[in-house]
Amino acid sequence: MGESMVNVEIRNEQDGQPFQAGSAASVRFLAEVRAWAERNEFNQIVFWRDGEKLWVQLDDERLNYWMPEHLLERGQKEDVEMQLDYARGAHHRSAAGYQKFDK
């Protein structure tokens, strides 16, 4: 296995700048996301921070799916994984061409 190749980051929607999540809770959140990404074979996850929302990007695809920002500070592991599972479902629907039905 060795070194993790998964890139997980949080960026501000307005300017694309990295958002520094410095608390112990947000560091744990990022570690949980990285572990989930490795299990699910994603190389990159970007959260686009827009007010109270974290829009999810899996690999190169920005999804029409967001997670509540409070998960950064208060998210339990199960909640974070459940939200990412939902995002993965949205990613699969979009890849299959179903996004026009999801509106």
Render pLDDT for 8-61 as a digit per residue (tens, 0 to 9): 999 999 999 999 878 999 999 999 999 999 999 999 999 999 989 999 999 999
pLDDT score for 3: 60
Identify the band that residue 99 occupies on the pLDDT scale cut at 50, 70 and 90.
low
CA–CA dist 38, 54 (Å, integer): 20
Signed CA dihedral, 63, 67, 68, 73: sign only: negative
This prediction has a pTM of 0.87
